[in-house]
Amino acid sequence: MRNWKYAGMLTVAVMMTGLLAQGASAAKPPFEKWIDATKGPEPEMQVQRVDEDTFVIRQSIETNIEGPFLYLFFGTDKVLLLDTGAGGLKIRPTIDGVVAKWLAEKGRKTIPMVIAHTHAHGDHIAGDVEFAGDPNVTIVGHSPEQVAAFFGIKSWPTEIVPFDLGGRVLQIIPSPGHEKAEISIFDPRTHWLQMGDELYPGRLYVEGDQFETLRASIDRVVTFTKPLHVSWVMGNHIEMTTKPGRDFPMHAPSHPNEHVLELPYSCLLELQASLHKMTGPQLDIHKDFILYPVPM
Q: How many whole angstroms separate alpha carbon 147 and alpha carbon 134?
A: 20
Query: What digits encode the pLDDT tens for the residues 232-284?
Result: 999 999 999 999 999 999 999 999 999 999 999 999 999 999 999 999 999 99
Cross-strand bridge partners of residue 258 = 241
Query: What digits encode the pLDDT tens for the residues 7-32?
Result: 333 444 434 333 333 344 445 778 99
Cβ(151)–Cβ(172) under 8 Å? Answer: yes
Look at residues 160, 204, 159 and name the one whose alpha carbon lies nearest to residue 179.
204
Structure confidence at residue 27 (pLDDT): 58
Structure confidence at residue 296 (pLDDT): 61
Structural domains counted in the chain: 1
Query: What digits encode the pLDDT tens for the residues 45-77?
Result: 999 999 999 999 999 999 999 999 999 999 999
Q: How many whole angstroms separate alpha carbon 59 and alpha carbon 77?
A: 27
Domain enclosing residue 258, as ranges:
3-294
Q: Name the pTM for this structure.
A: 0.91
CATH number at residue 182: 3.60.15.10
**Residues 45-73 as b or e (16 or more Cβ within 10 Å = b):** bbbbbbbebbbbbbbbbbbbbbbbbbbbb
